[in-house]
């Protein structure tokens, strides 16, 4: 799978640092959580999907790190850096052993198909 990203040669040198540094702190924070935890859920307030994902993990008795960034009304521009980094268009973003598995419904499908346990082994 190759995701289309504008080639660096097609970005003027004067703005390359703007692009590379755009809310890099939030991406670094998520990367650090992924490095330290088997399961990481990245969500936002007021969104029911991250809550569903956390309830599913709680029901399975699994530990996870949860990072929450804003709500529908604030910090959307910071969350956008995560969407650009991952290519995933919505929240939550769920990582298992460093692999993005998608959102709440994607995780539920993996759990129902007994694939989720395999990811943890």
CATH number of the structural domain spanning residue 53: 3.40.30.10
Structural domain includes residue 13: no
What DSSP state is assigned to residue 71?
B
Instruction: State how many domains the chain has.
Output: 1
Range of the domain at 42: 23-120
Look at the alpha carbons of 87, 8, 19, 12 in this order and tell me if their dihedral is positive or negative.
negative
Whole-prediction pTM value? 0.93
Q: How many helices (H) and strands (E) does the chain have?
A: 6, 4
pLDDT in tens, 57-68: 999 999 999 999
pLDDT in tens, 11-42: 999 999 999 999 999 999 999 999 999 999 99
Structural domain includes residue 115: yes
Cis peptide leading into residue 92 (ω within 30°): yes
47 and 93 Cβ atoms separated by less than 8 Å: no
């Amino acid at each position: 799978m190759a995701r289309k990203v504008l080639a660096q040669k097609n970005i003027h040198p004067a703005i390359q640092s703007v692009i590379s540094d755009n809310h890099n702190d939030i991406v670094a924070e998520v990367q650090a959580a992924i490095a330290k935890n088997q399961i990481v859920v990245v969500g936002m307030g007021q969104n029911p999907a991250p809550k569903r994902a956390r309830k599913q993990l709680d029901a399975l008795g699994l530990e996870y790190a949860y990072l929450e960034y804003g709500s529908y009304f604030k910090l959307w521009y910071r969350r956008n850096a995560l969407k650009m980094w991952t290519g995933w268009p919505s929240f939550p973003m769920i990582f298992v052993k460093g692999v993005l598995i998608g959102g709440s419904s994607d995780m539920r499908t993996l759990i129902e198909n007994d694939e989720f346990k395999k990811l943890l082994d």
